[in-house]
Structure 1
Amino acid sequence: MPLMRAFFRMSDFPLAKTLLVGISGASGSGKSFFAHKLQTLLAPLSSIILSQDDYYQDLAMLSLHQREKVNFDHPDAVDFELLVHHLHFLRSGRQIEHPLYDFSCHTRRIETASAGPADVVLVDGILIFCHPACRDIFDYRIYIDTPLDICFIRRLHRDITERERTIDSVTQQYLQTVRPMFWQFVQPASRAADMIITDDAIFDDQILCVRDHILKILE
């Protein structure tokens, strides 16, 4: 039987105008898929999804060669100050203009995107539980535990088809930074999760469980 561990600590959830939900896990674990499925099930509540990926530091001051050598799987690669600032704004019921990241050249786009206000804000990212201020701002934290071989296959397909990467570059990055940083930062941070999902074969049941719990919190 697939293992699903859930820890529902109702006293940990302060009453807030907007509920902030963090969804973490390895790259390719299914975070974005989970977030979009959950968003659909939360209707008619209003909800938005923010991606940690859009909050990578802007590296426009570096050459493309230098950018390609940056460790994007280390917490220092993320502009957590801006992300936490935006989450405070969203929690108070305000709208934000968040950055959009261009993975083909590792810089922020000139344009931004509007988000909020919303009843529920879903944030997905590999490192969102590694930064104390970011981790602690969430009312509810979900960690998706997917085998790393599956994660790598998904990441390889995504980066080639969506981010104009080559097989060699994706594989090299995975071996040099993605996998080591997972064991150093991402996996240990799973201890902060309120719920750990360990088998994506029962995603539908687990998403419904999360949806029901969020609705209970918002009652």
Structure 2
Amino acid sequence: MRKSNKPFIIGIAGGSGSGKTFFLKSFLNHFKPGEVTLVSQDDYYIDAGVMSMEENKLFNFDLPSAIDHKQFVHDISKLVHGEIVYKKEYNFNNPLAVVKTLEIKPAPVLIIEGLFILHFQDIAALLDHSIFIEAKGSVALQRRISRDDIERGYPKEDVLYKWHNHVVPAYKEYLLPYKSSCHRIVVNNDNTPEKIIELTDAICRELKLQQLNNC
């Protein structure tokens, strides 16, 4: 336990295609049940309604205004104060998706992840440790193309449009300026799970030791 009841809060930020999702899964595997909880910015997109493929292509989800910032902060505050959060899972405007209600329980370690968590200053101020995940542009783009084809059925042309007109400009304006202020920068250009697992293991050992020293 720490000196206060406040959880140890870790922020994990990374652009699209940085490999943040696999890093997170590996990171979470180093904690026991009840030790850690995750709140994701992706579950706080403002519902844009059912859109056609063309409307979806043109709509810019890569802006801070696309996030329900007020609710995001409200739910983080509840977790910090030991309260359970119930939140509908965002379905990325997929009308066929089965919407789940997420039960997010407070825990000694709280992980907040998302593109804008460093840009939202009230959230950034809560972080005890921040991790920036990055990959070079060509690698990130290929990961994005693959993901959007497999998971969301987006044509490559639409993915490229969003990449050049929405994703890259948002990354440069709302994430990259905060890179140097993060406690740790993880370069993730390889698709080698073993390297990420080894890295997350080392980070978790270090952070757990840091928490013990703060007791």
TM-score bracket, shorter-length normalisation = 0.7 to 0.9
Question: Contact conserved, 1:35 with 1:49, CA < 8 A, in 2?
Answer: no
Residue 17 (structure 2) aligns with: 28
**Partner of 1:21: helix, strand, or coil?**
strand
Aligned ranges for residues 172-191 of structure 1 at < 5 Å? Answer: 172-191=161-180
Question: Contact conserved, 2:136 with 2:189, CA < 8 A, in 1?
Answer: no
Change (3 A) 1:132 1:155: same
Question: Contact conserved, 1:19 with 1:119, CA < 8 A, in 2?
Answer: yes
Q: Give unmatched runs, 5+ long, in structure 1.
A: 1-12
Question: Contact conserved, 1:35 with 1:122, CA < 8 A, in 2?
Answer: no
Aligned ranges for residues 129-148 of structure 1 at < 5 Å? Answer: 129-148=118-137
Residue 207 (structure 1) aligns with: 200
Q: Which amino acid aligns with 1:196?
A: I
Question: Contact conserved, 1:59 with 1:67, CA < 8 A, in 2?
Answer: no
% identical equivalent positions: 25
* Per-residue CA distance 1:8-30 (angstroms, 9 max, x = gap): xxxxx984432221111111111
Question: Contact conserved, 1:55 with 1:99, CA < 8 A, in 2?
Answer: no
Residue 127 (structure 1) aligns with: 116
Q: Which residue, out of 206, 210, 216, partners 2:209?
A: 216
Q: Give unmatched runs, 5+ long, in structure 2.
A: none
**What value does the CA root-mean-square deviation take over the aligned residues?**
2.5
- Structure 2 length-normalised TM: 0.84
Q: Which residue, out of 79, 82, 86, partners 2:75?
A: 86
Question: Contact conserved, 2:36 with 2:108, CA < 8 A, in 1?
Answer: yes
Change (3 A) 1:154 1:82: same
Change (3 A) 1:188 1:14: farther
Within 2, Cα distance between the matches of 1:217 and 1:85?
28
Aligned residues: 205
Aligned ranges for residues 1-219 of structure 1 at < 5 Å? Answer: 15-43=4-32, 46-60=35-49, 64=52, 66=55, 68-105=57-94, 111-199=100-188, 201=190, 202-219=195-212
* Per-residue CA distance 1:54-81 (angstroms, 9 max, x = gap): 1111223x75465543211111111121
Q: Which amino acid aligns with 1:136?
A: A
Within 2, Cα distance between the matches of 1:86 and 1:148?
33
Q: CA deviation at 1:218?
A: 2.7
Q: CA deviation at 1:152?
A: 0.9
Q: Which amino acid aligns with 1:91?
A: V
- Structure 1 length-normalised TM: 0.83
Q: CA deviation at 1:49?
A: 2.3
